[in-house]
Amino acid sequence: MVLAGVAVLFAACGRLGEGVAKVNTTADGLAVRGYDAVAFFAENGAVKGDLKYEFAWNGAKWLFANSENLEKFKADPETYAPQFGGYCSYAVSHGYTADGDPDTWKIVDGKLYLNYNQKAKEAWEAEQDKFIKEGEKNWKEFQSKKPEHKG
């Protein structure tokens, strides 16, 4: 009886402390809105993925344009996955989340960052180093406390 009570208590505490999803996904579970995360690095651009090349990782479905990119991602997903789970980097640096748009991306020091739109990207780039540090701090906090989602 006591063990059951402890289990219920831990379960309740776990729900109260749930953070943000590790990966920002579409309604059908696609990461990066179905774009190929490796292509940002390999082809220097946003390339739509293909359902033939799908991989499940970190609670999301990741699509790739070809088998080579799929295999690269499988071998080292942390290298290719966008920072802050693919949420808008500007938003995360300001203490909330918003969806990241694959058309407003930038690679900084070998890491992929997405933003909500071009205006957010430009604002983020204006103080990029500061916002990356703020985003990293906030992202750690978001793991245990889900922030407001604004878009």
Q: Is residue 149 part of a domain?
A: no
Of 93, 97, 87, nearest to 127 by C-alpha is 93
Domains in the chain, number = 2
Domain-ending residue, one of 55, 79, 103:
79
d(CA 86, CA 39): 15
Q: Is residue 73 part of a domain?
A: yes
The continuous run of DSSP H or E covering 71 comes out as helix 67-75
Question: What is the pTM assigned to this prediction?
Answer: 0.88
Q: Is residue 94 part of a domain?
A: yes
- The verdict on 70 and 27 lying in the same domain is yes
Q: Give the pLDDT of residue 17.
A: 53
Question: Which regions in the chain score pLDDT beneath 50?
Answer: 1-16
- The verdict on 68 and 91 lying in the same domain is no
Torsion from C-alpha of 126, 127, 132, 135, nearest 10 degrees: -100
pLDDT in tens, 80-100: 999 999 999 999 999 999 999
Could you give the 3-state DSSP secondary structure of residue 139?
A: helix
Give me the domain span that covers residue 49: 22-79
- The verdict on 89 and 138 lying in the same domain is yes
The pair of structure tokens assigned to 18 is 């749930």
- The verdict on 96 and 136 lying in the same domain is yes
pLDDT in tens, 3-12: 333 333 333 3
- The verdict on 45 and 30 lying in the same domain is yes
